[in-house]
A and B are shown apart, each in its own frame.
Chain A
Amino acid sequence: MTRRGTEAAPGRGAGKPAGRRAPVTTASPRPGALVQIVLKLLRLVAVLVVVGTLVFLSMELLPGGPAEAMLGVSATPDSIAALERQLGLDQRLLDRYLSWLGGVLRGDLGQSFRNGQDVSTIVADRLSVTIELVVAGQLIALLMALPLAMISANRRGSVLDRGVGLFVFSVLSTPHFVIGVVLIWLLSVNLGWLPATGYMPISAGVGTYLSGMIMPAVALAAAPFAQYQRVLRADLIETNNREFMLVARAKGVSPLRTSFRHALRPSLLGLSTVVGITIGTSIGSSVVVETLFGLPGLGAELVSAVQARDYPEVQGIVLVVAAAFVVVNAIVDVLYSVIDPRLRQRRRTRREALT
Chain B
Amino acid sequence: MTDTVTVPLLSVENLKVRFATPEGLVTAVDGVDLQLGHGERLGIVGESGSGKSVLIRTIMGLYRPGDASIEGDVVFDGRRVLTMTPRERRRIWGSEIGMIFQDPMNSLHPITPVGAQIAEALRLHRGMTRKEAAERAVELLDLVKIADPRRRSRQRAHELSGGMRQRVMIAMAMACEPKLLLADEPTTALDVTVQARILELFDSLCGEFGIGLILVSHDLGVVGRHTDRVAVMYAGQVGETGSVRQVLERPTMRYTGALLDAAPRWGRDHQVLPTPIGGQPPNLLTLGPGCHFAPRCPGATDRCREARPALVAVPGQPEHRAACWHPIDAPDPAEREVTVR
Binds B, one of A83-91, A215-223, A242-250: A242-250
* Complex interface bits, A293-332 against B, C-beta within 8 A gives 1, otherwise 0: 0000000000000000000000000000000000000000
Determine whether the beta carbon of A242 is less than 8 Å from that of B120.
no
Q: How far is the CB of A208 from chain B (nearest CB, A)?
A: 43
Q: Provide the residues of chain B in CB contact with A253, threshold 8 Å.
A: 90, 94, 120, 124
Determine whether the beta carbon of A251 is less than 8 Å from that of B156.
no
- A262 to B120 Cα, complex, angstroms: 11
Let me know if A121 is at the binding interface, CB within 8 A: no
Determine whether the beta carbon of A251 is less than 8 Å from that of B120.
yes
Determine whether the beta carbon of A251 is less than 8 Å from that of B94.
yes
Q: Provide the residues of chain B in CB contact with A244, threshold 8 Å.
A: 106-110
Determine whether the beta carbon of B106 is less than 8 Å from that of A251.
no
Q: Provide the residues of chain B in CB contact with A340, threshold 8 Å.
A: 110-111
Let me know if A252 is at the binding interface, CB within 8 A: yes
Known contacts A251-B120, A252-B90, A253-B124; is A242 also within 8 Å of B106 by CB?
yes
Q: Provide the residues of chain A in CB contact with B92, threshold 8 Å.
A: 252
Let me know if A266 is at the binding interface, CB within 8 A: yes
On chain A, which size bracket covers the interface? Answer: 20 to 34
Let me know if A355 is at the binding interface, CB within 8 A: no
Determine whether the beta carbon of B111 is less than 8 Å from that of A250.
no
Let me know if B172 is at the binding interface, CB within 8 A: yes
- A342 to B160 Cα, complex, angstroms: 12
- A350 to B158 Cα, complex, angstroms: 16
Known contacts A252-B92, A252-B94; is A342 also within 8 Å of B124 by CB?
no
A-B contact pairs, 15 of them (CB 8 A): A243-B101, A244-B110, A246-B101, A247-B107, A247-B172, A250-B60, A251-B120, A252-B91, A252-B94, A252-B95, A262-B109, A262-B112, A340-B111, A341-B156, A342-B158
Determine whether the beta carbon of B99 is less than 8 Å from that of A250.
yes
Q: How far is the CB of A207 from chain B (nearest CB, A)?
A: 40
Instruction: List 8 A-B pairs, minimum CB-CB distance, nearest first.
Output: A252-B94, A252-B93, A251-B94, A243-B106, A250-B99, A252-B90, A247-B107, A244-B109
Let me know if A58 is at the binding interface, CB within 8 A: no
* Complex interface bits, B284-308 against A, C-beta within 8 A gives 1, otherwise 0: 0000000000000000000000000
Determine whether the beta carbon of B95 is less than 8 Å from that of A266.
no
Let me know if B324 is at the binding interface, CB within 8 A: no
Determine whether the beta carbon of A252 is less than 8 Å from that of B121.
yes
Residue of A nearest to B118 (CB): A251
* Complex interface bits, B87-106 against A, C-beta within 8 A gives 1, otherwise 0: 00011111100010101001
Let me know if B62 is at the binding interface, CB within 8 A: yes
Let me know if A265 is at the binding interface, CB within 8 A: yes
Known contacts A247-B101, A249-B62, A250-B62; is A342 also within 8 Å of B156 by CB?
yes
Let me know if B125 is at the binding interface, CB within 8 A: yes
* Complex interface bits, B76-96 against A, C-beta within 8 A gives 1, otherwise 0: 000000000000001111110
Residue of A nearest to B110 (CB): A266
Q: How far is the CB of A170 from chain B (nearest CB, A)?
A: 29
Known contacts A342-B156, A342-B158; is A250 also within 8 Å of B108 by CB?
no
Interface residues of A in 142-168 (CB under 8 A from B): none
- A244 to B104 Cα, complex, angstroms: 9
Let me know if A254 is at the binding interface, CB within 8 A: yes
Determine whether the beta carbon of B107 is less than 8 Å from that of A243.
yes
- A259 to B136 Cα, complex, angstroms: 25
Let me know if A345 is at the binding interface, CB within 8 A: yes
Known contacts A247-B101, A341-B156; is A252 also within 8 Å of B110 by CB?
no
Q: How far is the CB of A337 from chain B (nearest CB, A)?
A: 11
Determine whether the beta carbon of B94 is less than 8 Å from that of A250.
yes
- A249 to B120 Cα, complex, angstroms: 12
Determine whether the beta carbon of B62 is less than 8 Å from that of A246.
yes
- A201 to B144 Cα, complex, angstroms: 62
Known contacts A246-B101, A247-B101, A266-B111; is A252 also within 8 Å of B106 by CB?
no
Q: Provide the residues of chain A in CB contact with B112, threshold 8 Å.
A: 262
Residue of A nearest to B87 (CB): A254
Residue of A nearest to B92 (CB): A252
* Complex interface bits, A338-355 against B, C-beta within 8 A gives 1, otherwise 0: 011110010000000000
Q: How far is the CB of A110 from chain B (nearest CB, A)?
A: 48
Interface residues of B in 45-61 (CB under 8 A from A): 60
Determine whether the beta carbon of B110 is less than 8 Å from that of A251.
no
Residue of B nearest to A242 (CB): B106
Interface residues of B in 258-307 (CB under 8 A from A): none
Determine whether the beta carbon of B124 is less than 8 Å from that of A243.
no
Q: How far is the CB of A268 from chain B (nearest CB, A)?
A: 10
- A297 to B94 Cα, complex, angstroms: 56
Q: Provide the residues of chain A in CB contact with B109, threshold 8 Å.
A: 244, 247-248, 262, 266
Interface residues of B in 118-160 (CB under 8 A from A): 120-121, 124-125, 156, 158-159
- A248 to B107 Cα, complex, angstroms: 9
Q: Provide the residues of chain B in CB contact with A247, threshold 8 Å.
A: 99, 101, 107-109, 169, 172
Q: How far is the CB of A213 from chain B (nearest CB, A)?
A: 36
Q: Provide the residues of chain A in CB contact with B111, threshold 8 Å.
A: 265-266, 339-342
Q: How far is the CB of B54 from chain A (nearest CB, A)?
A: 14
- A329 to B222 Cα, complex, angstroms: 53
11 extra interchain contacts, Cβ-Cβ under 8 A, other than A247-B99, A249-B62, A254-B90? A243-B106, A246-B62, A247-B108, A248-B120, A250-B99, A251-B93, A251-B94, A252-B124, A265-B111, A341-B111, A342-B110
Q: Provide the residues of chain B in CB contact with A251, threshold 8 Å.
A: 93-94, 120-121, 124, 172
